[in-house]
Chain A
Amino acid sequence: MTEQPLLIAEGLSKNYGTRLGCRDVSLEVYPGEVLAVVGESGSGKSTLLGLLSTELEPSAGRVSYRLRDGRVADLASLGAAEKRLLMRTDWGFVRQNPADGLRMAVSAGGNVGERLMAVGWRHYGNIRGEALDWLAKVEIAGDRIDDDPRAFSGGMRQRLQIARNLVTRPRLVFMDEPTGGLDVSVQARLLDLIRGLVAELGLAVIIVTHDLAVARLLSHRMVVMRHGRVIETGITDQVLDDPREPYTQLLVSSVLAA
């Protein structure tokens, strides 16, 4: 196939002192594709997400990204300004704890509008209008636009975080346990929302989750991590229904069926 990957990781490793975060991870993500990274706590999946999103600096290896102009850039070689622009416009990052991804003392509308202003929107009415549209997309009533997220429930905060991240139409979104810590009914609503938006906008997503059901629902492909390494990869349903590695078999068989 002629399609080019959006993001390429080659031989990524990260040591924390003598402790290992991630060892020799290589992967590719294509436009419009959802890749799940699964594994238990301490498997290195959040470290990997940090490396891919350049929040962490690798001990070895590199991450390349296809910019909007078609150029493939080694992310470590980008200047600070270029990297900031990339993160504000072309990327999103949805964090497990919405308080880490939102500005809690700024109104809901401000949280969404801020990203627009960062990409050059200036007209107040347009920004507010776009923010209202996005609040509606994530099922937050328009009359809450001036409330700040401290007054929101956990599920609402998470939906607001998604609106804030998607308003600039990024091409790649990182998600770190986006449904972790939410009630199951709230989780279902959020998953459905993410699923719909990802398909509608053709987003590429790298989602870290320990929840195999979330991976099954959202992702096309998955990688299984253990002890900082990728131990198994493939189409999501294939890895879940016919796991090959002993550890993956254990993970899959440990899920309680409701």
Chain B
Amino acid sequence: MNTPILSVSGVSKTFILHLREGARLPVVNGAGFDLYAGECVALGGPSGAGKSSLLKMVYGNYRVDEGTIRVRDGEEMVDVASTSPRRLIKLRDTAMGYVSQFLRVIPRVGARDVVAEPLIHDGVPPEEAVARAGALLARLNLPERLWNLPPATFSGGEQQRVNIARGLIAHRPLLLMDEPTASLDAANRNVVVELIAEKKRAGVAILGIFHDAEVREAACDRVIDVTEFGRVAA
């Protein structure tokens, strides 16, 4: 196979809780794997095994104590663990997207504009961006009467669909998804599975946490069990 989109090697992290007398909370120890274009890989393992933390480290949201997390940006492999904040911001702009579990709402901005924002940021004309955002929200069955309303008052499932749409609307070669279907009904879960399949066909590499077994079966090519990484000494 060709070069990976994402290459994780020897990654470890321990939280140090200064407000708890410096208690040490190891979350990931010795994680290593590669991810290639067009595949969807699930991080597996029980709650608390460090799946979410690992995903956040790949995005640069959590810092990395040890190891490298190399993400392909065009011809270059950029190490998230050691690069500068400004390079990381640029990497997020071009090379990777992140669908978090919960939508962080922006006061006063309507749902469709929230979704269109990444496209506008990419330089897509606002009119086209908004039209594409509307189309994606329609696919996710978000009623049109909600499109102009800020999502703060939406239900959990509605917010999550806005969040998914925002995370998927722009093309990023690497996509990170943290439980994208947790509060969705079966019909909308299927839409997400379809959208993931489309991303894979477009050559996107996806790394995600999918607790729903059906979604995992349908969307993922393999599972990486995070408990198989070097065990954390208690």
Question: Which positions in A face B, CB cutoff 8 Å?
Answer: 1, 3, 30, 33, 188-189, 191-192, 195, 199, 217, 220-221, 233-235, 237-238, 241-242, 244-246, 249-250, 253
Contacts and interface: CB of A to CB of B under 8 A. Distances in A.
A188 B19 contact: no
Contacts of A189: 107-108
Contacts of A245: 18
A199 B117 CA distance: 11
6 contacts: A33-B86, A195-B106, A217-B107, A235-B89, A237-B61, A238-B63
Contacts, number: 55
A246 B18 CA distance: 5
Nearest to B18: A246
Contacts of A30: 86
B107 A238 contact: no
A31 to B, nearest CB: 11
Contact of B60 (A199, A233, A238): A238
The interface size bin for chain B is 20 to 34
Interface string B49-90: 000000010001111000000000000000000000111111
What are the 10 closest A-B residue pairs judged by CB atoms, nearest first? A188-B107, A246-B18, A192-B108, A242-B62, A235-B85, A249-B18, A242-B63, A221-B85, A234-B85, A237-B61
Interface string B5-18: 00000000001111
Contact of B106 (A3, A217, A220, A237): A217
A68 to B, nearest CB: 22
A235 B107 contact: no
Contacts of A217: 106-107
Interface of B: 15-19, 56, 60-63, 85-90, 106-109, 121
B108 A188 contact: yes
B85 A250 contact: no
Given A1-B86, A30-B86, A246-B18, A192 B109 contact: yes
Contacts of B108: 188-189, 192
Nearest to A252: B19
Nearest to A196: B109
B60 A235 contact: yes
Nearest to A30: B86
Contacts of A220: 89
A88 B17 CA distance: 46
A238 B83 CA distance: 13
Given A199-B121, A249-B19, A250-B18, 11 more contacts: A1-B86, A1-B90, A3-B86, A188-B108, A235-B85, A235-B88, A235-B89, A237-B61, A238-B85, A241-B61, A253-B19
Given A192-B106, A221-B85, A234-B85, A244 B63 contact: yes
